[in-house]
Amino acid sequence: MNESIFQACFRLFLYFGVWVVVVGFVYSQELVSGSRIGIAIHGGAGTILKENMSPEEEETYRAELREALLVGYEILKGGGSSLDAVEKAINILEDSPLFNAGKGAVFTNSGTNELDASIMDGKTLNAGAVAAVKHTKNPISLARLVMEKSPHVMLVGEGAAVFAEKLGMKPVPQEYFYTEKRWLQLQKIKAREKSVAPDKPVPRGSQSRTEKFGTVGVVALDQDGNLAAGTSTGGMTNKRFGRVGDSPIIGAGTYANNQTCAVSATGHGEYFIRGVIAYDVSALMQYGGLSLAEAADKVIREKLGAMGGSGGIIAIDREGNIAMPFNTAGMYRGYMDRNGKPVIRIYRD
Ligand code: ASP
């Protein structure tokens, strides 16, 4: 008798235990699938080789990328929008002198800084962009204002500056963007240009394939399943005649669509514009049925490579899958893994 009561209790205890485990598992699955978020970041692609970088220098880049990634991730974790995550994470990189965006932007041929940026909302397909702005500390924030507070998609130069001031954005002097490293880069390219083609007004190839592209970009997926992408840059060193690259061009350097993915690019902009690179990844998914990894890989390795262009992209799909293909030696990049841990990479491996 005593033994059977003991057995019954044990059975009850066992049932209860199994029940707790099953309910706990279902609940945790729901929580995970209901709040899947994701974020990826880049700080430019190019000839980034381990042998050319000191451990300290490498750690500085890693730390900045990690900080920006965490700022974006915290916003997403707190239920914030992918647009906020993209903008705020890019602001960190724009304010850092390490990257070719905001402070630390590259110089034009005439020694000025002209910045480009764009942002896109995958839910509405709304987008905003600015090009050749000279006094905006955070061009990605101005691009967002263009998207949200104007009926337009892209504003350039003086007009964009007037718009910025109207909306209360304080202009910064050109000196704000100065860094010695970028100034010396311009002098080096100019000297090379002179020695290679002294008589040509616009020597081709002065933006060589071995150059570093320090543009920054972020793609994100929020708890509501909305995707967003943003890109900010100083363009390419020694650019002239009001040259605008791919970064502010929707479909070339930036694209987001909730049905497919969000993409931000870095590399030799002329090729990304001609190849409509960012949109191509989305189109291959939407019309070709490719996965994010297949589409991203195809566009960078096959299309961009075949055109002779160099660079890379970061991309995220609506399930939170991330792809980061590039055809240069390296690309500053990072993402948050499924356990909420930042992963930062620089070189090919
Ligand atoms: N894509 C940018 C441009 O062509 C350069 C970069 O990625 O750093 O303006």
Q: Which two tokens stand for residue 35?
A: 């709040």
Predicted local distance difference test score (pLDDT) of residue 113: 98
Residues 126 and 261 in one domain: yes
Q: What pLDDT, in 10s, does the model give residues 193-235? A: 888 766 665 555 445 444 677 899 999 999 999 999 999 999 9
Span from the CA of 62 to the centroid of ligand 1 (angstroms):
20
User: No. of H helices and E strands in the chain?
Assistant: 10, 12
Residues 206 and 293 in one domain: yes
Predicted local distance difference test score (pLDDT) of residue 33: 40
Residues 157 and 192 in one domain: yes
Atom of ligand 1 nearest to the CA of 267: 7
Least confident of 25-29, 63-67, 78-82: 25-29
Closest Cα to atom 4, ligand 1: which residue? 269
Residues 135 and 227 in one domain: yes
Ligand 1 proximity of 104 Cβ (cutoff 6 Å)? no
Would you name the residues annotated as active-site residues? Answer: 215
Q: What pLDDT, in 10s, does the model give residues 242-293? A: 999 999 999 999 999 999 999 999 999 999 999 999 999 999 999 999 999 9
Ligand 1 proximity of 114 Cβ (cutoff 6 Å)? no
Do residues 216 and 94 make contact, with C-beta atoms less than 8 angstroms apart? yes
pTM above threshold 0.85: yes
Is the pLDDT at 182 greater than 90, yes or no?
yes
Closest CA to 296 of 271, 319, 274, 313: 313
Span from the CA of 100 to the centroid of ligand 1 (angstroms):
9
- What's the structural domain count of the chain? 2
Q: What pLDDT, in 10s, does the model give residues 124-133? A: 999 999 999 9
Question: How would you list the strands of the sheet with 254-256, edge to edge?
Answer: 254-256, 261-267, 311-317, 322-323
**Domain interval for residue 234:** 38-347
Predicted local distance difference test score (pLDDT) of residue 319: 97
Give phi and psi for 250, each to the nearest 5: -65, 130
* Torsion of Cα atoms, 22 then 27 then 30 then 31, to 10°: -140
Span from the CA of 236 to the centroid of ligand 1 (angstroms):
6
Span from the CA of 14 to the centroid of ligand 1 (angstroms):
62
Closest Cα to atom 7, ligand 1: which residue? 266
The best mutation among 211, 213, 237, 238 to test binding of ligand 1, ranked by most ligand atoms within 8 Å of the C-beta, falls on 213
Predicted local distance difference test score (pLDDT) of residue 150: 98
Predicted local distance difference test score (pLDDT) of residue 263: 99
Give just the sign of the alpha carbon dihedral 278, 282, 287, 289. positive
Apex 237 CA angle, 235 and 240, nearest 5:
80
Residues 67 and 204 in one domain: yes
Residues 205 and 226 in one domain: yes
Predicted local distance difference test score (pLDDT) of residue 2: 54
Q: What pLDDT, in 10s, does the model give residues 3-58? A: 566 676 566 666 655 555 544 443 333 333 445 999 999 999 998 888 888 999 99
Do residues 269 and 236 make contact, with C-beta atoms less than 8 angstroms apart? yes
Span from the CA of 84 to the centroid of ligand 1 (angstroms):
23
**For the chain, what percent of residues have pLDDT higher than 90?**
81
Q: What pLDDT, in 10s, does the model give residues 285-330? A: 999 999 999 999 999 999 999 999 999 999 999 999 999 999 999 9
Ligand 1 proximity of 213 Cβ (cutoff 6 Å)? yes
Beta strands in 227-323 (DSSP E): 227-233, 254-256, 261-267, 311-317, 322-323
Residues 5 and 148 in one domain: no
Give alpha helix (H) positions in 38-122: 55-77, 82-95
Do residues 185 and 107 make contact, with C-beta atoms less than 8 angstroms apart? yes
The best mutation among 99, 109, 118, 215 to test binding of ligand 1, ranked by most ligand atoms within 8 Å of the C-beta, falls on 215
Integer Cα distance of 57 and 180 in angstroms: 16
Predicted local distance difference test score (pLDDT) of residue 279: 98
Beta strands in the chain (DSSP E): 38-46, 115-121, 127-133, 154-156, 216-221, 227-233, 254-256, 261-267, 311-317, 322-323, 330-336, 342-347
Integer Cα distance of 38 and 255 in angstroms: 16
Residues 149 and 45 in one domain: yes
Closest CA to 130 of 175, 181, 178, 164: 164
Predicted local distance difference test score (pLDDT) of residue 194: 84
Residues 152 and 222 in one domain: yes
Q: Which two tokens stand for residue 166?
A: 């109207």
Integer Cα distance of 129 and 277 in angstroms: 17
Predicted local distance difference test score (pLDDT) of residue 47: 83
**Residue 189: enclosing H or E segment and its boundaries?**
helix 180-196
Residues 32 and 45 in one domain: no
Residues 48 and 2 in one domain: no
Radius of gyration of the chain (CA): 23
Contacts of residue 68, defined as CB under 8 A and 6 or more positions apart, other chains included, come to 41, 89, 90, 92, 93, 216, 218
Do residues 334 and 72 make contact, with C-beta atoms less than 8 angstroms apart? no
Ligand 1 proximity of 236 Cβ (cutoff 6 Å)? yes
Integer Cα distance of 43 and 325 in angstroms: 14
Contacts of residue 307, defined as CB under 8 A and 6 or more positions apart, other chains included, come to 271, 274, 275
Residues 42 and 32 in one domain: no
